[in-house]
Structure 1
Amino acid sequence: MIPEAGDIYCVYVERLRSYAACQVTHIKQPESAKGKPLAAVLELDWLGDAPPSESELRQMKPLICNYFFWNDRIDHSYVDAVVPAGYTKVGSLPPLAEEEVVSYGSWDTGGSMARQRNWEAIAPKLRQRFKEAAQDRAKVDVGGRSLSRSTSAADEDLLRQLSDLSELEKLPCLTRIHADTLSEPLLAFIAGNPFIIELQVSHVEGTDLDLSACRLNRLAIRPEGLRQLTLNRDMLQLTLTGPASPELRIAAEENGRWLTVHNTAKLPALIGLDRLGGLHLTGIASLDLTAVVRRFPALRELRLWGKPGTLTGVDSLAALPELRRFSTYDLFGFTGEQFPGPDKLPRLEWLWMTSLPAEAAGPIKACYKKQAAAGLDLHITKARKPEWLAENLDNPFRDWDGREHISAANARKAASLYKKTQSALRSLALRSAAAGPSDAAVREELEALVAAYTETFNRMDRRGSFIETVEREEIYTVLTDLLQNFQAVGGQADIDVLVKLFDSLRDY
């Protein structure tokens, strides 16, 4: 359903245990035939136990946000113009905001209201100190470094220079800590600072970690050695940056109902998260969804990325009655007939599947066509035939095939260049291992391969500029991976020197 300017919608927000409301202020029509209309959505300052009455509707006004670095701003963003399932139109008013919309997001009514409430729960004096520092560009000495009072992140380099963690109190706007080791003093500092909402740590002292006194929203941790992890009630995202012990027990609010776990490759055991709300798995080579559903039967969001990989047990998704959001990327091995239909996933609001079997793409898209018209956010793209998969399984540029601004010819050239460079480096590695690190001929040939790799992309981009930030990073990453693999099989190379050569030669 496409809304009209002025329409007001409400939706029940489970975390707030209330209805929240938003207004569509205007519709932005697409600039191209392939584009889709966007709706400018404004979050409103209203919560209720039931949809708003007529009198409440007439008193609606924008939510004014001043949490963290927001300064009396409204939450007003462009989103997909199709109204999601679960949203109910309750009336219409002249647009309550007419300012130009410059941000893009998704339907998240109630999100800013929750963040504003959490902000207002912090002591007023602390909030005032934060706001004053956020506008202060004066420098303070912290650990021998001159930093702005508005600095929001402390990394390991800074922490290592501190003789006393109390020096961090000179930075009232700290919201992020990135540390190698989470010591008891650092944990105490984080627990005493309500503004620190993100922690990234590689090592924890001891086998138990209790964060219940903190206000963290996001935690990235290497869990090696941990047996007990107690999360605070505000925790929303837990990223495991290494393997977790099968004995690791995690305590979270409502057994993880509001938590999303990010993990690489394999399904973690994570004892204690029996009502886990979200799971993101990356780098999948092979995954049986039956095991996922059995372990986490209350999932509301499941997002899966292959390297590419094989996905089996797709029919078991029907046993996730609360599933709202599901996505796959570069995953194969299933058919459209195996994917549950809308009657099995009645609460599904968001279905994105990219780079999937052609035999699955068509039937899934057709099956959910009516739900898409009714508000399901449906994107089924890059249907792959078996011959494509066989040809591109080891092609790191496979995602270029089907990317909107990249031609099929350029995608093929990139794949061909990768294979050619990989083959040449494999042959050279054998000679390099025998010749030793001082062989000038090997060094010259390595430099010639890097120059040829770089110049090929230069020529491709000159014919039709298409290499943007993402592609530039991908080209760099593929080259460094190739050089690291060259070293891994016995080749002798100074990768830093070769990367500098690449940077000096590239035109994009």
Structure 2
Amino acid sequence: MIPAVGDIYCVFVEKLQKYTACQVTSFKESESGKSSKLISLLELDWLSDTLPDDAELLTMKPLSCDFYFWNNNLQHSYVEAAVPKDYIKAGNIPPLLPGETNSYGTWNVGGSIYRQWQWEQIPAEKRQLFKQAAKDDALITLGTRSLRRSTNVVWEDMLAELDDVSELEKLPCLTKIHAAEASASLLAFVKNNPFIIELHLGKTLMSSIDLSGSQIRKLFIQNAQGLEKLTLNKGLTNLTIGSDISPDLHIEADEDGYWLSAGFTSSPPDFHGLPRLAGLHLHQVTELDLLPIVQRFPELQEMRLWGKPGTISNLDSISQLSKLASFSTYDIFGFSADQFPPPQQLPRLSTLWMTSLPADAAKSIKTAYKQKSKRGLNLSITKPRNPEWLANNLTNPFRDWDGRENITAAQAKKAADQYKKTATALTALQKQDSELPKAADLEAALLELVAAYTLAFNKMDRRTGFIETVEREEIYVVLHDLLDSTKQSLAAQGLAIDLAPLFERFDQLRDF
């Protein structure tokens, strides 16, 4: 369904059990100018148990949000022109705002009005104190540090300097805490502060963590070893747990995880709980059988799989997920064209994104779902890969460069070749420890390799300047991983190296 300017659409917000509304304010022409692919969408300040009549449409106004650091922000963004199937046209009135906007987003109407509602549940005097502090750059003392009163994030090293966690009360608009480990005093502070919405824990020495009563929305636990019971608060939307999860862990959540998305590395660990989990995000997948996941979490509404790259089996089992609305993969292989369920087996699917997948499957899925995309399905099937590509790029950390908009195929290949060349040289160096007994000689050889690596990317970037922020970070991460692996290997042989001078050389030489 392609909308018209002025159209008002309503959608049911499940968390509020009410309808809300949005308006199409303009079309944005594609770069080619041949067709309109985007519309500007304005969210409206309206909630109701029933759909509006014509008279009620004329009373609607733009939604203005002031939660946390927002100051009467309008929710006005460019989105894909196809209207999702769960949006209901209520009528058409003149646009409430000019069509132009600088923001881009997705059809997620209802999220902002719900967050505004959550904000308004906090006592007004506390909200007023938050807003005042957000504009206050006066310095306060926290431990041994001087921080602006408007600071909203504290890090592990800051917490380590505090004698008493209650000192954090000096930061009235604190919203995020990064802690090396959980403690009773930290959890008590979090529970008593309605503005703490994000908590990162390095490890959990406690056998039980209870966050009930807090307002946390995102919880990250890097190492959950020893944790036997995790009680989550109502309102938590995202849970991410890293490594070392005990099979004895019991996780309790509101409505058994119906409102929760959980992220893990490689595959879901064997914990107890979350039978109604809504979203599952898996990173660094290598091999994965989807059937046990489907059987374990039968009410999944969203599934995201990121490969290392990885292979999956029993892909057809996702047809058993009757509520599945969003499915996305990246660098996932191991399935054929006939193993992806046809549209009629995924009736609630509204988003299907698959990037870097088998070429034959990509073609088949795109063809099968083409008609559904015209009826509101957000469809993106990109970077089809043949078996030869996978064989050549299985261990290539720059494989994502192949097909990236700002990078040519030749540049992607040169990056892969440079990685292989550097990795081979470092492997050879590790085998020559008897010939390089002196640390100075070893450091000189490593400095030379770092220089060759850096200059190679300088040369690639010289003509077109394609290396931007993302690519710069990727080049650094690849080098870091190579050198860190080399350091560990040499340490096992009794040879210690300092990585700091190597990264200094990288920074000195790079032109990108």
- TM-score normalised by the shorter chain: which range applies? over 0.9
Name the residue aligned to 2:506. Answer: 502
Question: Is the CA contact (8 Å cut-off) linking 1:150 and 1:172 kept in structure 2?
Answer: yes
The residue aligned with 2:362 is 361
Structure 1 equivalent of residue 3 of structure 2: 3
Matched with 1:304 is 305
Larger deviation: 135-144 or 260-269? 135-144
> 1: distance between equivalents of 2:321 and 2:342?
13
- 2:40–2:99 Cα contact (<8 Å) kept: no
Shift of 1:269: 2.8
Moved more, 498-507 or 147-156: 147-156
C-alpha deviation, 1:14, in angstroms: 1.4
Q: Return the offset for 1:195.
A: 0.5
Residue 269 of structure 1: SS of its match in structure 2? Answer: coil
- Name the residue aligned to 1:343: 344
Match of 1:288 in 2: 289
Letter in 1 for 2:379: L
How much has 1:314 moved relative to structure 2? 0.3
Give the distance between the partners of 2:209 and 2:227, measured in 1 at CA.
Answer: 8
Give the Cα separation in 2 of the matches to 1:433 and 1:31.
60
Closer, same or farther in 2 for the Cα pair 1:36/1:497, shift >3 Å? farther
Shift of 1:493: 3.5
Classify the secondary structure of the residue corresponding to 1:239. strand
Shift of 1:450: 1.3
Does the CA contact (< 8 Å) of 1:437 and 1:493 recur in 2? no
Aligned counterparts of 2:243 and 2:95: Cα–Cα separation in 1: 49
Q: 1:387-427 CA deviation, whole Å, 9 max, x = no partner?
A: 11111101111111111110011111111111111111111
Q: Distance in 2 between matches of 1:471 and 1:33?
A: 30
**3-state SS of 1:158 partner:** helix
Residue 101 (1) aligns with residue 101 (2):
yes
1:384 paired residue number:
385
Pairwise CA distance, 1:157:
1.7
Query: Considering only aligned residues, what root-mean-square deviation do their CA atoms show, in Å?
Result: 1.6
In the alignment, the residues of structure 1 paired with residue 482 and residue 144 of structure 2 have an alpha-carbon distance, to the nearest angstrom, of: 40
* Correspondences of 1:464-503 after superposition (within 5 Å): 464-490=464-490, 493-503=497-507
Aligned partners of 2:35 and 2:171: how far apart in 1? 45
CA offsets 1:142-200 (integer angstroms, 9 cap, x no match): 22322111110111222122222222111110001111122111111111100000000
Matches within 5 A, 1:159-238: 159-221=159-221, 222-238=223-239
The residue type paired with residue 466 of structure 2 is: F
Q: Verify the 8 A CA contact 1:197 1:215 in the aligned structure 2.
A: yes
* Alignment partners' CA distance in 1, 2:465 and 2:237: 40
Aligned-pair distance for 1:376?
0.6
Which amino acid in the other structure matches residue 266 of structure 2?
A
Work out whether residues 429 and 487 of structure 1, in 8 Å CA contact, stay in contact via their aligned partners in 2. no
Q: Once the 2 structures are TM-superposed, how far is the Cα of residue 35 of structure 1 from its aligned partner?
A: 9.5
Could you tell me the percent identity over the aligned residues?
A: 53
Distance of 2:331 and 2:206 partners within structure 1 = 38
In 2, the alpha carbon distance for the partners of 1:444 and 1:206 equals 46
C-alpha deviation, 1:489, in angstroms:
2.9
Partner of 1:239: 240
Instruction: Assess if the C-alpha contact under 8 Å between 1:432 and 1:439 holds in 2.
Output: no
CA 1:203/1:452 → structure 2, altered by over 3 Å: closer, same or farther?
closer
Residue 51 of structure 2 corresponds to residue 51 of structure 1: yes
Q: Distance in 2 between matches of 1:464 and 1:132?
A: 47
Letter in 2 for 1:166: S
Contact kept, 8 Å, 2:319 with 2:346, in 1: the verdict is yes
Q: Partner of 1:158 in structure 2?
A: 158
1:79-94 alignment to 2 at 5 Å?
79-94=79-94
Alpha-carbon distance between aligned partners in 2 of 1:62 and 1:146, rounded to the nearest angstrom: 40
Q: Structure 1 pair 34/479, CA: closer, same or farther in 2 (3 Å)? A: farther
Instruction: Determine the structure 1 residue equivalent to 2:318.
Output: 317
The CA deviation string for residues 325-378 of structure 1, in whole angstroms up to 9 with x for no partner, is: 100111111012110011000000100001100121000000000011111111
Paired residue secondary structure (2:277): coil
Matches within 5 A, 1:250-265: 250-265=251-266
For normalisation by structure 2, the TM-score amounts to: 0.96
Measure, in 2, the Cα distance between the counterparts of 1:302 and 1:35: 32
Q: By how many angstroms is 1:438 displaced?
A: 2.3
Paired residue type of 2:329: T
- Deviation readout 1:241-298 (Å, 9 max, x if unpaired): 2221112111111110100001111222331201000000000110001011011000
The CA distance in 2 between the partners of 1:378 and 1:34, in whole Å, is: 20
In the alignment, the residues of structure 2 paired with residue 238 and residue 36 of structure 1 have an alpha-carbon distance, to the nearest angstrom, of: 38
Aligned CA distance change for structure 1 residues 49 and 433 (closer, same or farther; 3 Å): farther
Question: AA paired with 1:479?
Answer: L
**How do residues 108-147 of structure 1 correspond to structure 2 at under 5 angstroms?**
108-147=108-147
Q: Which amino acid aligns with 1:402?
A: G
Single out whichever of 198-207 and 319-328 deviates more from structure 2: 198-207
Count of residue pairs the alignment pairs up = 507
- CA distance in 2 between partners of 1:35 and 1:484 (Å): 50
Contact 1:21 1:47 (8 Å CA) reproduced? yes
Summarize the Cα distance change of 1:33–1:404 in structure 2 as closer, same or farther, 3 Å threshold.
farther
Q: What amino acid sits opposite 2:427 in the alignment?
A: R
Which consecutive residues of structure 2, in runs of 5 or more, have no partner in the other structure? none
Q: Is the 8 A contact 2:183 2:206 kept in 1?
A: no
